[in-house]
């Protein structure tokens, strides 16, 4: 179960994440699904740079999750700050706030790349 949080993206990554649920990529055939609450999640998928206004919400979601859990940074902004980086409004990459287990780069990463990254994060690749 994955909880997705947009920490401050341009929504490019969100469009690609949404595509994972269509019949072509069919994320649920792997037993992976998105949940509405971090309390029901095994992994947190974060897109976008962490804006200063989203820092508290991101930390709250992380702390609400049961152990063990994964943190997955998806997209260049979440992985390394992208073109936004650190500024008066942004803390930059997710790893500046929380320890990241898996990085899925791309601007935005395609659904196929996201799917490979999620499967790798869960140890379901050959």
Residue tagged 């949080």 (tokens): 5
Q: Note the residue count of the chain.
A: 126
User: For 68-110, how does the pLDDT look when each residue is reduced to its tens digit (9 = 90+)?
Assistant: 999 999 999 999 999 888 999 999 999 999 999 999 999 999 9
Tokens found for residue 90: 């942004």
Whether the pLDDT of residue 119 is over 70: the answer is yes
User: For 8-54, how does the pLDDT look when each residue is reduced to its tens digit (9 = 90+)?
Assistant: 999 999 999 999 999 999 999 999 999 999 999 999 999 999 999 99
**Cα(10)–Cα(78) distance, integer angstroms:** 11
Kindly report the number of other CB atoms within 10 A of residue 20's CB atom. 22
Q: For the chain, which domains are there?
A: 2-121 (3.40.50.12280)
pTM, rounded to two decimals: 0.93
| The pLDDT of residue 14 | 96
């Amino acid at each position: 179960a994955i909880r997705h949080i947009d920490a401050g993206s341009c929504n490019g990554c969100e469009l690609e994440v949404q595509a994972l649920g269509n019949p072509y990529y069919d994320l649920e055939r792997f037993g992976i699904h998105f949940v509405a609450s971090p309390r029901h999640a095994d992994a947190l998928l974060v897109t976008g740079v962490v804006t200063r206004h989203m820092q508290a919400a991101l930390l709250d979601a992380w702390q609400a999750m049961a152990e063990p859990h994964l943190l997955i940074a998806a997209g260049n902004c979440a992985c390394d700050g992208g073109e936004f980086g650190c500024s008066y409004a942004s803390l930059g990459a997710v790893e500046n706030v929380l320890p990241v287990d898996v990085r899925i780069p791309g601007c935005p990463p395609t659904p196929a790349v996201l799917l490979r990254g999620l499967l790798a994060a869960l140890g379901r690749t050959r």
